Amino acid sequence: MTNRIKDMLTAGRVAIGTWHTVCSIEVAEALAALGFDWIAIDMEHGSADVAYAEQAFIAFERHGAAPFVRLPAADPILARRMLDAGAHGLLVPVVEDARSFAEFARHCFYPPEGRRGVALERFNRWGEDFSAYLRDFRPVLVPMVETRKGVAVADALAALPQVDALFFGPYDLSADLGDPGNFTTPQFRAALDAVKSACAKHGKAAGGHQVAPDPAELQARIAEGFRFVAYGTDVLAMRHALAGIKGIARG
């Protein structure tokens, strides 16, 4: 029972996902039916709780999208609960210390590698896949680099064996650099290059967010070397598709 997204990243392939931010199973299934490789429940900025996430996972799985979660913080207990609910991967925001992240990661793996509690839950079909899951499954772990401190430890993070990708957070980093939303400053570009270089050095995937749902821009991010890409969000896609209605209605 292997992890398809981990296998894709290990093989150097591109895995494209998106953020699910609203609590609507209809939206969750509509996203999954589009063909994303993975979809992350956004528990940092969205309104989902554990119970909703588990329902959304079922919708994702029906269409072959791997369920991921962006945790609100490096919370090992919530991480365990999300893995037990069936998450294939976890994104952790604002990571600034490699040693702390390594300790968090231990809660995501079973003994002797880690400290995750062994259970019979939906992730192993209540024990039916107990041995296969225990032997073969490893979650995708992605620390998010979103501050100057995070950039400074990017090399140490990428060197951790538990890490599959580093995710570059453009808005938070630009804010930390003092110019929110400006992705063209020399400081921002240097930070981006440092994270990508750390990933390349240690054979990890470079991750990032193509915020606007623009296929040409998505292709540009892939051409730049990003292999773990979040493309838009559910709400941004809706607003993008319906933008301009005020002008038309009032014109």
At 19-64, the pLDDT tens digits run: 999 999 999 999 999 999 999 999 999 999 999 999 999 999 999 9
Please give the CATH superfamily to which domain 4-250 belongs: Phosphoenolpyruvate-binding domains (3.20.20.60)
Which residue type occupies 91?
L
Q: What's the chain's average pLDDT?
A: 96
**pLDDT of residue 78 exceeding 90:** yes
Pair of tokens at residue 118: 């062994």
**pLDDT of residue 169 exceeding 90:** yes
**Among the options 20, 45, 88, 202, which is catalytic?**
45
Q: For residues 247 and 251, give the distance between their C-alpha atoms in angstroms, rounded to a whole number.
A: 6
The yes-or-no answer on residue 63 being catalytic is no
pTM: 0.95
Number of H helices, E strands in the chain: 13, 8
Question: Predicted confidence band at 210 (pLDDT cuts at 50, 70, 90)?
Answer: very high
* Confidence (pLDDT) at 247: 78
Pair of tokens at residue 125: 């079909």
SS3 assignment, position 50 = helix
